[in-house]
């Protein structure tokens, strides 16, 4: 395989280069003899004469081109493991909390997590016209980026999005656009992305999602009724939305995927039914009255309300017998069904029967799923027993009070309100249960108070979460901020971490989650000086590779590799496609070098970051040519590198 410049740099994958390579592989005629994309040939395919610039349907805003360019530029940063803030790291099982700018983090995760995230839940900052902290500005000089972009040492003020500015919507859209473009690469082909949003940007976000994910992959718009505002002048707008998209809806249809969730309250009704039946000795009238009394205790917006439609009762439990027997959309089969008492043909539904044949109709009747009226003048109906099926499709309209979410959140922090408007973790848990399975990974890049991590831990301990939160400083200008500071929480990311820690350790009478944990990583400048290398645009790829190698020799020759070995280890592994939960095992067969076996769910390799690879280590690969080996370029002299390359070929990665 031909060596490329980006292979020698500790960057995330160059997605622009990958797209061009795939385009060239499929359509070589669009490229010149020098390998450059021929725009004129591309335009011939598009035929701009048929797609007028002024007439075509397009979604544009100021900064769109820049946001797309930002998305596909490689990251020059690294993720550094923070053992001091990690909780039960030996039981983390892939759970990660990453403190850092989320666009950079997404790019870094692309190396190892591409196509491996089953569910993404994002709750981005809503576009309120106030300052917001995501402007894709990341510097790499001596000061941390959150100090560089802030106006004070502890501040994080990055961007202003005043409504009076002409770019009120544009700034927000650009922020979301770049992140969605990268995030899409991380989703599994059967994955989902869910984004919370309010009225201010729901229509713009919908168009943006159509552009990035394809409108054909739209699944649903969920409405969450949260608050009633009695002081509203026009309408009491107390709802928010969640837009749900699939990575590949057609694939899900081909798989025959049918999403189902447990019906809320079924087990509760079953328990009450059994008690009433025993009490009234199968007097179904009294059992029905008792159930009705219980139903009346539920509020109108209670999630259990759909169960109140099961108003009739017999030995099989509550049931309803008003189900529609019609063929959906019309044009269904017609056949004669005689009433069992009168013997006369029953009235047929105008759209035809839902059952394909009369034989199938009578099979369903025998199973107790069809109910006849008093005579043939009534169309037979479908009977549904509540206890026959405990699952259903989730409704698109749900109720979730913000006050409840706040109260539950405060219980975690000793009754103190340290975060405004936290998401209800139980709402997110429902989505996690519905849209993901055991062992799947759930990603949230706007982690905030850590509700997603809480939800994943409660949904199923074998699911994994990755939370990303910008280290935004907490201000002491609000009572909420002051309470957080009193608890030693200086940044929003501190709340994210501390909340998940409290959930694991147990709070307010809740039992500890003994088998849960997480690892903390922070975004940092790369440990390799080579990130400062700037290719010469006047030189060829091969010439720039030689310049980079010389640059590495000059800059890293005195690099104290031993001192930073732990930091470099995680950076090198991630760059080489290893997930952050990979296991490292010291290999005893290597006596002269410290060699580890790195292994995650998808790949494994030996890795050694010693400053010098000994001859004995090189000799090992003469008889073990099927192993992969990662080491530092500077640790090899010419002879050792030749021998390793001869024995391992592409299985050698000299970094």
| Rounded distance between C-alpha atoms, residue 605 and residue 598, angstroms | 5
Ranked by mean pLDDT, the top range of 12-16, 41-45, 160-164, 591-595 is 591-595
Percent of the chain with pLDDT over 90: 51
Residue 335, φ and ψ in degrees, nearest 5: -160, 160
Chain segment 448-460, per-residue pLDDT in tens: 999 999 999 988 7
**Is residue 304 very low, low, confident or very high in pLDDT (cuts 50, 70, 90)?**
confident
Nearest Cα residue to 528 out of 487, 585, 571: 571
Q: Of 233-242, 330-339, 347-356, 641-650, which gets the smallest average pLDDT?
A: 233-242
CATH of 72-260+395-524, one of 3.40.50.150, 3.40.710.10, 3.40.50.720, 3.40.47.10: 3.40.50.150
pLDDT exceeds cutoff 70 at 651: yes
pLDDT, residue 145, reads: 44
Q: Are 427 and 306 in contact (CB under 8 A)?
A: no
Q: Tokens 């107390």 — which residue? A: 238
Residue 403: per-residue pLDDT: 76
Residue keyed to tokens 């009234």: 280
Mean pLDDT score of the chain:
84
Q: What confidence score (pLDDT) does residue 199 get? A: 86
Question: Are 613 and 639 a contacting pair, CB within 8 Å?
Answer: no
Is residue 115 within 8 A of residue 189, CB to CB? The reply is: yes
**248: region left, alpha or beta (phi > 0 left; psi from -120 to 50 alpha):** beta
Which of 71-85, 126-140, 501-515 shows the lowest mean pLDDT across its residues? 126-140
Q: Provide the pLDDT for residue 468.
A: 97
What is the model's pLDDT at position 34? 60
Q: What is the DSSP letter of 37?
A: B
Task: Indicate the pLDDT class of residue 153, thresholds 50, 70 and 90.
Answer: very low
Q: Which of 130-144, 156-170, 199-213 has the highest mean pLDDT?
A: 199-213
158 falls in which pLDDT band (50, 70, 90)?
very low
Token digits of residue 533 = 């290398």
313: left (phi over 0), alpha (psi -120 to 50) or beta: beta
Query: Between 533 and 81, whose confidence is greater?
Result: 81
Q: Is 269 exposed, middle or buried (0-12, 13-18, 19+ CB in 10 A)?
A: buried
Block residue for tokens 């090899």: 636
Average of per-residue pLDDT across 522-541 = 80
CB neighbourhood size of 411 (10 A): 14
Contacts of 203 (CB under 8 A, 6+ apart): none
Residue 258, both tokens: 């049918």
Residue ranges, comma separated, of all CATH 3.40.50.150 domains in the chain are 72-260+395-524
Picking from 72-76, 254-258, 482-486, which range would have the lowest pLDDT averaged per residue?
A: 72-76
pLDDT of residue 508: 85
pLDDT in tens, 374-419: 999 999 999 999 988 877 788 888 777 777 788 888 999 988 999 9
pLDDT at 568: 85
**Which is nearest to 172 in space by CA: 138, 211, 133?**
133
User: How would residue 501 be classed by pLDDT, with cut points 50, 70 and 90?
Assistant: very high
What confidence tens digit (pLDDT) does each residue in 547-599 have? 877 777 777 666 554 456 777 888 899 989 999 999 999 999 999 999 999 99
What is the distance between the alpha carbons of residues 209 and 207, in angstroms, rounded to a whole number? Answer: 5
Q: Which pLDDT score, from 0 to 100, does residue 263 have?
A: 78
């Amino acid at each position: 395989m031909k060596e490329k410049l980006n292979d020698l740099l500790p960057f995330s994958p160059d997605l622009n280069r990958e797209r061009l390579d795939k385009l060239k592989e499929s359509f070589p005629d669009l490229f010149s003899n020098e390998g450059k994309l021929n725009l004129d040939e591309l335009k011939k395919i598009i035929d701009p004469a048929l797609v007028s610039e002024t007439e075509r349907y397009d979604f544009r805003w100021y900064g769109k081109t820049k946001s797309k360019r930002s998305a596909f530029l490689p990251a020059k940063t690294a993720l550094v493991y923070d053992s001091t803030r990690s909780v039960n790291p030996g039981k983390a099982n892939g759970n990660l909390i990453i403190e850092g700018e989320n666009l950079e983090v997404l790019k870094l995760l692309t190396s190892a997590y591409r196509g491996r995230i089953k569910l993404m839940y994002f709750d981005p900052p809503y576009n309120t016209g106030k300052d917001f902290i995501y402007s894709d500005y990341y510097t790499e000089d001596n000061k941390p980026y959150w100090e560089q972009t802030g106006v004070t040492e502890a501040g994080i003020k990055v961007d202003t999005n005043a409504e009076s500015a002409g770019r009120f919507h544009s700034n927000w859209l650009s922020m979301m656009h770049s992140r969605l473009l990268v995030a899409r690469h991380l989703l599994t082909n059967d994955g989902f992305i869910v984004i919370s949003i309010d009225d201010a940007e729901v229509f713009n976000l919908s168009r943006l999602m159509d552009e990035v994910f394809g409108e054909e992959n739209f699944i649903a718009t969920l409405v969450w009724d949260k608050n009633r505002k009695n002081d509203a002048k026009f309408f009491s707008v107390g709802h928010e939305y969640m837009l749900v998209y699939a990575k590949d809806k057609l694939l899900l249809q081909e798989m025959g995927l049918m999403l189902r969730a447990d019906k809320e309250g079924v087990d509760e009704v079953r328990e009450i039914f059994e008690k009433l039946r025993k009490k009234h000795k199968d007097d179904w009238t009294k059992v029905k009255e008792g159930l009705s009394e219980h139903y009346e205790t539920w509020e109108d917006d209670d999630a259990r309300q759909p169960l109140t439609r099961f108003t009739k009762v017999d030995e099989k439990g509550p049931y309803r017998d008003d189900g529609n027997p019609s063929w959906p959309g019309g044009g269904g089969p017609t056949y004669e069904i005689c009433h069992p008492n009168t013997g006369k043909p029953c009235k047929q539904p105008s759209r035809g029967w839902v059952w394909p044949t009369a034989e199938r109709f009578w099979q369903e009747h025998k199973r107790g799923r069809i109910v006849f009226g008093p005579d043939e003048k009534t169309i037979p109906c479908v009977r549904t027993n509540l206890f026959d099926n405990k699952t259903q499709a989730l409704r698109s309209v749900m109720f979730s009070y913000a006050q409840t979410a706040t109260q539950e959140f405060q219980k975690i922090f000793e009754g103190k309100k340290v975060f405004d408007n936290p998401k209800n973790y139980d709402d997110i848990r429902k989505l996690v249960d519905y849209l993901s399975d055991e062992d799947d990974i759930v990603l949230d890049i706007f982690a905030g108070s850590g509700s997603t991590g809480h939800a994943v831990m409660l949904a199923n301990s074998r699911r994994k979460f990755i939370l990303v939160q910008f280290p935004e400083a907490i201000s002491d200008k609000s009572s909420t901020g002051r309470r957080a500071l009193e608890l030693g929480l200086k940044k929003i990311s501190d709340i994210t971490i501390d909340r998940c820690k409290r959930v694991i350790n147990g709070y307010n009478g809740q039992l500890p989650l003994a088998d849960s944990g997480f690892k903390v990583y922070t975004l940092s400048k790369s440990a390799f000086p080579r990130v400062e290398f700037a290719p010469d645009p006047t030189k060829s790829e091969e010439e720039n590779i030689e310049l980079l190698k010389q640059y590495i020799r000059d800059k890293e020759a005195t690099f104290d590799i031993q001192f930073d070995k732990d930091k470099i280890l995680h950076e090198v592994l991630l760059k080489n496609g290893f997930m952050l939960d990979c296991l490292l095992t010291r290999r005893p067969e290597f006596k002269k070098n410290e060699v580890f076996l790195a292994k995650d769910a998808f790949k494994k390799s030996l890795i050694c970051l010693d400053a010098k690879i000994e001859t004995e280590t090189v000799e090992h690969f003469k008889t073990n040519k099927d192993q992969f080996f990662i080491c530092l370029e500077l640790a090899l002299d010419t002879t050792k590198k030749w021998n390793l390359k001869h024995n391992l070929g592409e299985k050698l990665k000299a970094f």
